[in-house]
């Protein structure tokens, strides 16, 4: 088993920024709109890139962010505003730029 890395907010931001700058598209289920933390082909979403292989389980898919943070020690250092993660102030976009 590997050592689990716990990220500070800045470290998480830097890792996510680097990941998203090289990502080729959204990490979603094949043929669907459901976002995934990890996909079988190795793709990761912004949060998924912080979840180690040792901590990842398919059971995490579909969980709200605050539950995933509670389940993964690598995310313990993140300050997740639990009230904000349940809000969707704007509707989800129906289309995305071609590079997403």
pLDDT of residue 3: 55
Contacts of 75 (CB under 8 A, 6+ apart): 6, 7, 12, 47, 50, 51, 68, 69
* Model confidence pLDDT, tens digit, residues 74-95: 787 776 655 544 444 444 445 5
Whether the full predicted model's pTM is greater than 0.85, yes or no, is: no
Torsion from C-alpha of 87, 7, 20, 36, nearest 10 degrees: -60
Hunting for tokens 């979840």 — which residue is that? Answer: 51
pLDDT of residue 89: 46
What residue segments make up the domains of the chain, in order of their start? Answer: 9-81
């Amino acid at each position: 088993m590997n050592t689990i890395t716990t990220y500070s907010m800045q470290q998480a931001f830097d890792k996510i920024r680097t990941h998203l700058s090289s990502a080729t598209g959204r990490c979603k289920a094949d043929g669907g709109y459901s976002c995934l933390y990890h996909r079988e082909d190795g793709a990761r979403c912004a949060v998924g890139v912080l979840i180690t292989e040792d901590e990842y389980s398919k059971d995490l898919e579909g969980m709200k962010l605050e539950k995933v943070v509670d389940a993964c020690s690598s995310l313990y250092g993140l300050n997740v505003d639990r009230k904000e993660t349940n809000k969707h102030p704007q509707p989800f976009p129906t289309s995305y730029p071609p590079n997403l």
